Amino acid sequence: MTPADLPDTAGPGGLRRARRPGPPAAPGDRRVNCRPPVGSRAAAEPAPVLLADGLLTERLALAAPEGTRVVVADYEIPPGGTLPWHYHDGRVVAVVTAGVLTRTLADGSECVTPTGACIVEPVGPRGVHMAENRGSGPLRICALFFLPRDCALSTRADPPAAAAPD
- pTM, two decimals, is 0.67
CB count in 10 Å sphere of residue 46: 6
CA distance 145 to 140: 16
CB count in 10 Å sphere of residue 155: 14
The residue-averaged pLDDT of 40-66 equals: 73
Does pLDDT of 104 surpass 90?
A: yes
Percent of the chain whose predicted confidence (pLDDT) is above 90? 53
Q: In angstroms, what CA-CA distances link 24 with 19, 80, 137?
A: 15, 50, 44
* Whole-number pLDDT of residue 21: 41
Give tens-digit pLDDT for 76-94: 999 999 999 999 999 999 9
**DSSP state for residue 126 in the 8-state scheme:** G
CA distance 126 to 67: 24
* Whole-number pLDDT of residue 58: 72
